[in-house]
Structure 1
Amino acid sequence: MLLRKDLRLLAALRREIRGYAPGFLLPQREPHGALDGELHQLATTPADVVALQVDRLLTLARAGQASGPSTGVTTIAAALEAGEQSFVQRVASELHQFWRGFMAERWEGLRCRMEADIRHRGASMASRGLSATLNSLHPAVSYDSGVLHIRDERSWKVFEWSRMVLHPSPLASTWLLRDDPWDDGGTHLVYPVGPSGASGGDPAAGPVAEGELGKVIGEARLLLLSDLGSSRTTTELAERHRMSASTVSYHLLRLHRVGLLNRVREGSRVYYQRTPEADRLVARRYRRSLTPQLAGA
């Protein structure tokens, strides 16, 4: 895909990054996710940092190539010959082209799935603990006695004292690890996110952003979700909709697990309210239901 769009330097970097990735490729995140700011950080990386980190990447890449340099190594080395500033400006330009051509239209859906997974992992960490949460990331990943083990055709150990950042990705098909031996940016573990937005989500709920919402999540859950524009407790919802508290609690748990509800405890009471993603789904459904009436008015 990258080569078809002539993003050759980006394709070469993607091919040669195995474990170590230059830290300048992971700029500090801007408030509100401002892409232009992050690309500006990348494009203005100091020359000495670029030279040092690209040299590390090329050294590691060449070490694994007994039959001579690959096309990726050759492309990266040739781009660096034009100067470090030119190199990072080209990377930033190709990333911008990739965003505009492949990611911009898909971003809202991808972001919602990642945010839902982050909420799911946070809730899992609070209720089940660190070990159970890390063990649920991917079949190849396991955590025991302060060490994160990753076992398949590649094998890694990451120790507890290492700083680790977890990245849920709807685009990844397996785990990806950036384990920086020079600690320029810590250890980053990418793991795949399923279509429900959380690996531990309710499989019966399905892809909530598609199709008729009531058919996807069930009419009872849709009824409760529609009433949670304001925060309410299980007891309040049971009284308002003439359901048993246990039935309401069951539905709320499933809605919370797939990222459609936020949950906040205040003393002995637990309040539920729709997430921004759920607000958009309910609003979209409401607009669709009004369309025939407005058309005939």
Structure 2
Amino acid sequence: MLRYVLEEQDVASVRFGISPLCELGLSLRAIRGPAYFPLQLPWVRRTEEARADLDHEVLDALIDDRMWTPDFLNPRPHSPLTRLDEELAELRELSADVFHRDLTAVHGRVPDVLAGPPRAAVRRVVAALEELWDASFEPYWPRMRAVLEADVVHRGRQIAQHGLGAMLNGLSATIDFDGDILSVRLKDPTDRTHRIDGTGLTLVPTMFTRRASAPVGLGPPMLMYPARGQGALWETERIANPAAVAGILGETRASLLAALGDPASSTELGVRFDVTPSAVNQHLRALRDAGLLVSTRYGRSVLYLRSELGSALLGGRTPSG
């Protein structure tokens, strides 16, 4: 049992944060034991081929059979807008003592693959995580982040309408708050009690936990809890199309055009509409060549957006100019 003691002044310092690195580290749970994370099975399956050539020797050393990960993969996010590159930059500067301490807390020792010179080992960990992100997260992160941000908005509304206690007690069935003590039933049999003492409590929604979890060690007070709405993340999207447009373009292309009022990548669109990557790219190229879409590169992804002509076609009006 983990207990956080909140004094009156601590109640005002409860805050939310979103951590890409935390999601990246916790995703190792779904990769290691996909049967325990049924909501994320579509993600595991879709990314399996992309993960084939990663540094699995290192990634496997970052999780044990209890699904524990070292605390350096669960940083306390500085804000709801924390970026992965910022978190990885901090991880690169991790001291050897903390690196070895956090690994030992999980495995009882430093795994052989990471037992060499600490600076080189940290660099290899960062490289393995960057590759995992590029292969499995970058195409889907906008949708994942949207779910996490929607959860934070919902929790804020709960506080405004029903108070902090109701919100905390609604985070997970394994969390209880009595007004003074926040109790979390963990799989870790150790009984731990921490006073917040003005340091603040950070609540982090995640896609990769089924119950509340917390850092293994004595780091800053932080709780990770299952985000709402993740069950709908991988549902195939269906959009009702104007019959005339669907008759001209076909249902799939009309659906893509209707959906691209907001920019999206071909990979994201393939997930949303249950279309293979090659097929969705073919449809997008045809729509772009017809002047109905525009595209721009963002990092390693190409984002598509409906053009003025495409909007005019959907709206049945003549474009300006």
Normalising by the smaller structure, the TM-score range is 0.5 to 0.7
Question: Of the candidates 122, 125, 138, which is equivalent to residue 91 of structure 1?
Answer: 125
**Superposed displacement of residue 118, structure 1:** 0.6
Question: Of the candidates 42, 63, 80, which is equivalent to residue 91 of structure 2?
Answer: 42
Give ranges in structure 2 of 5+ residues lacking alignment. Answer: 1-30, 33-50, 242-305
For 2:120, the aligned partner's letter is S
Q: Secondary structure at the match of 1:119?
A: helix
Q: Secondary structure at the match of 2:210?
A: coil
**Superposed displacement of residue 168, structure 1:** 0.7
- Matched with 2:207 is 170
**Superposed displacement of residue 161, structure 1:** 2.2
Deviates more, 1:23-32 or 1:90-99: 23-32
1:14 aligns with 2:63: yes
Q: Residue 17 and residue 146 in structure 1: after superposition, are their counterparts in 2 closer, same or farther (change >3 A)? A: farther
**Alignment size in residue pairs:** 201
Equivalent residues of 2:71, 2:215 under 8 A apart: no
Return the alpha-carbon distance in structure 1 between the equivalents of residues 90 and 134 of structure 2.
18
Return the alpha-carbon distance in structure 2 between the equivalents of residues 89 and 50 of structure 1.
12
Deviates more, 1:15-24 or 1:5-14: 15-24
- Matched with 1:278 is none
Deviations 1:75-109 (A, max 9, x none): x344132x111111111101101100110111000
Return the alpha-carbon distance in structure 2 between the equivalents of residues 28 and 124 of structure 1.
22
Return the alpha-carbon distance in structure 2 between the equivalents of residues 287 and 130 of structure 1.
46
- Matched with 1:211 is 238
Q: TM-score, normalised by structure 1?
A: 0.54
Q: Residue 30 and residue 87 in structure 1: after superposition, are their counterparts in 2 closer, same or farther (change >3 A)? A: farther
Q: Residue 207 and residue 42 in structure 1: after superposition, are their counterparts in 2 closer, same or farther (change >3 A)? A: closer
For 2:61, the aligned partner's letter is A
Return the alpha-carbon distance in structure 1 between the equivalents of residues 165 and 99 of structure 2.
33
1:290 aligns with 2:317: no
Matches within 5 A, 1:135-150: 135-150=169-184
Give ranges in structure 1 of 5+ residues lacking alignment. Answer: 63-72, 198-204, 215-282
Query: Over the residues paired in the alignment, what is the CA RMSD in angstroms?
Result: 4.1
Q: TM-score, normalised by structure 2?
A: 0.50
Higher-RCO chain (CA-CA 8 Å, sequence separation at least 6): 2
1:54 aligns with 2:100: yes
Q: Residue 130 and residue 25 in structure 1: after superposition, are their counterparts in 2 closer, same or farther (change >3 A)? A: closer
Q: Residue 150 and residue 212 in structure 1: after superposition, are their counterparts in 2 closer, same or farther (change >3 A)? A: same
Q: Residue 54 and residue 37 in structure 1: after superposition, are their counterparts in 2 closer, same or farther (change >3 A)? A: same
Return the alpha-carbon distance in structure 1 between the equivalents of residues 210 and 126 of structure 2.
25
Question: Of the candidates 110, 122, 128, which is equivalent to residue 156 of structure 2?
Answer: 122
Return the alpha-carbon distance in structure 2 between the equivalents of residues 44 and 179 of structure 1.
20
Bigger radius of gyration, 1 or 2?
A: 1
**Superposed displacement of residue 30, structure 1:** 8.7
Q: Residue 51 and residue 23 in structure 1: after superposition, are their counterparts in 2 closer, same or farther (change >3 A)? A: same
Return the alpha-carbon distance in structure 2 between the equivalents of residues 80 and 23 of structure 1.
16
**Superposed displacement of residue 28, structure 1:** 6.1
